[in-house]
Structure 1
Amino acid sequence: MDTLDLKEQIVNDDKIEEILEALGMHHINSNNGKYITCGMPDGDNTKSTVVYKDNLHVDAYTRNIKDAYGFTDIISLVSFVNGTYHTESVKWICDICGYDFYGQNTRKSRLADWVRDMWKVQKDGSKEDEEKLTPIDEKMLSYYGQYVTDMFLKDGISYQTQKEFGLGIDLLYNMITIPIRDELNFLVGVKGRLFKDEIDEWESKYFYIHSCAKSKVLYGLNKTKHYIKEKNEVIVCESEKAVMQLWTMGIKNAVAISGHILSSTQAQKLTYLGVPIVIAYDQGAEIGKNGKIDKNFYPNEFNKFLENQEVYVIYDKSRKILKEKESPSDNPKKWVELYNSYKYKVRG
């Protein structure tokens, strides 16, 4: 659910006290018409926290509950108290209020639509794809089973990693299947890779067997959130394969954007992790279809983040380490060299 939609629904349905009670806040007092006062679950001050009823802004006088964007609202309060990632906090609120996190909801305010649309224009110059991220039936994975392949083993993905990421086989289309899960671990799509080494020019190596709103997903985040926090860093790759290659190397703090251009939603999800971001795209990601280098490609990617967001890029300036279209994760020795000697700070 969109956070603006969620906030609007909470206000309209008068759900603030219900959320605060479930959160474990104490001495909840809503006698004042404009705001609610309460105390933190582990605090003695009965009025340390103020929640404004009209916009859900929160003043927490004894705690710093600001999120990565500097917001102090009902969602950042939940994240602080529960120790959860932004999306997990939104899902928790939806569960408490009886809302469908993935469902379509009716927007009641034209102003909210206008604010949302203006924000998108400011972020990337156009409205982001409105395709909804929707869970699909887990049972369909039983059709593909769980199999490991020598093809992916040769590509640097161990049998154990293949098992952990749930790879299977589609016998009808002769494809390796890759379950796509969102950060809450719900199955939202299935991607296939043709099960053959030589790919004809007219063939696509990868395509979605069960499509999903890929611009809304950071592949691997369901498994790597803990390690990202532990390492205080998230590595951003293009492909699902790269995440699994790094996992095999013991590098478990990576995600993939399933493409080579960050969406606004993906940039937000990365920012909410609250850690430095390392962009590790394939060699030649900045080369356009015309074969020419787009000098604005990487700056455009970096500008999708806040100015104070710490961002790095792994980039083979010499063009002597990586071959064209080679991923930094394809070769463990190259990865070590690139990470240690070719990681440049570009923001924050």
Structure 2
Amino acid sequence: MSELRSFYPPIEPFESGMLDVGDGHQVYWERVGTRGAKPAVFLHGGPGGGCNATQRRVFDPAKYDVILFDQRGCGRSTPHAELEANTTWHLVADIERLREMMGVDKWLVFGGSWGSTLALAYAETHPEHVSELVLRGIFALRRWELQWYYQHGASLMHPDKFEPFREHIPAAERADLISAYRKRLVSPDRATRVAAAKIWSLWEGSTITLMPDQGMVDAFSDEDFAIAFARIENHYFVHEGWMEDGQLIDNAGKLKGIPGVIIHGRYDMATPMQNAWDLHKAWREADFRIVEGAGHALSEPGILHELISATDRFAD
């Protein structure tokens, strides 16, 4: 384990701000590393998760100039937990605005979990502006993937954790849990929204690491985090990402010529290994790394090792 790569030291942004992206949304962004070095953008998960200080540390600060941002409605972006004008394609347009603001023609795009979904959507829309792709915990947002995690699949591996998620919904509505949670997450009653949000968020926070991680559980249980995370995530899933089913895998041919790495934990409960395998088969040029003894989270030692190895390799 001592040979595994780990985080670079903590780093503070050298620049940050709020970008008016229209539709009443202000997006928080920050820039870390060395101004003018290799440009990159970090796409966080969820959707609705927000970026954090730890995520800054997967890039060599001497070799990279990195933008991280809180996607619409979450983190420090405003308005908080807003669902209007908040779709995959709004976010793709926001990434382009940030690239233009940074003044670069191409940049490395780094995304994990929902961030991998957004990275694929962006790269398949603007391949000419992507120098490399580093993707973790592949999530193609297909119907079966949503069913696996929120209806029946991961529930078989974590029945003790899934039971509170299921039991929060009356028996008559349990045939479609995502839709049932939608009703509660958009309820005019704040207490109803908060109760549903905390349970939705806790299900994910307690199942994305291979081994139990109380710190992760606590973070996902925070009320402010949970309300944005659950509302936005559920909003995207109810609408299936505003994409055709299987669109991201079907359009992987648009990635031809873009160097990339696909990194996936063998025992990922949130996004099954099949996702990464399907992308690998559709995008053969990418380096494919299966991490044994790992789940879904960026913080899993084997996954972190592969991610930093990839950013180091592309920096050089």
With normalisation by structure 2, the TM-score equals 0.27
Larger helix proportion, structure 1 or 2? 2
With normalisation by structure 1, the TM-score equals 0.25
Higher relative contact order (CA 8 A, sep 6+): 2
